Amino acid sequence: MEIIFREMPHSYDEVVMGHKLWFPESIESDVISATANVNGFTPLNAIARRYNWNNAMISSASQQCNSRYEIAVISELKPTLLLVPSTQGDGDTGFLVKDLVNAANAVNADVLNFTHFGFIQNRLPKNEITTILDYFMDPSVKSSIRVIVWDIDFRFKKEMIDIWKLKRSKF
């Protein structure tokens, strides 16, 4: 899997209010993975507005995803949406990243837009990111995913580059 980090800019108002208002499309992505959080002006709601998705469907799927603590696949949407339960930075990321890749394989994902770190409110969850990168970079992992477009909040670009350099030097 090739990983391309995409720096996500935010307007001054988005940063000050803590509201994600818009989502720039990754035109090459056939699948989007997003955190199942629809409470307020969240990245998932910004994505849903961008693609004009049904709010009731997204809300219901998010609720089920979080209550079951497993990936939800919504293949009726274009691009296909993979919802990931909200972990608040403390969840079982190892289980979830494996479940995400399995779900991506089930829909034969080619280019995955990984949006989970494109708008960060407090701190960069380094442990989660490290676990995810370890799995994505593991050569024994078999996946239909050819490219991951990994969104990263512009305010954490340097920290993400440091994590990436450390991970890459180990592989």
- Residue-level pLDDT at 90: 64
Q: Which residues pair with 147 in a beta bridge?
A: 2, 111
- List pLDDT tens digits, range 84-143: 998 866 667 889 999 999 999 999 999 999 999 999 988 889 989 999 999 999 999 999
Question: Domain containing 91 — which CATH number?
Answer: 3.40.220.10
The percentage of residues in the chain with a pLDDT greater than 90, rounded to a whole number, is 74
pLDDT digits (tens, 9 = 90+) for 69-85: 999 999 999 999 999 99
Give the range of the structural domain holding residue 27, as residue numbers without chain letter.
Answer: 2-170
Q: How many domains does the chain have?
A: 1
Query: What CA–CA distance (Å, rounded) separates 94 from 80?
Result: 22
Strand 111-117 vs strand 80-84: parallel, antiparallel, or unpaired?
unpaired
Query: How far from chain centre, in Å, is Cα 87?
Result: 12
pLDDT score for 131: 92
- What is the pLDDT at residue 91? 63
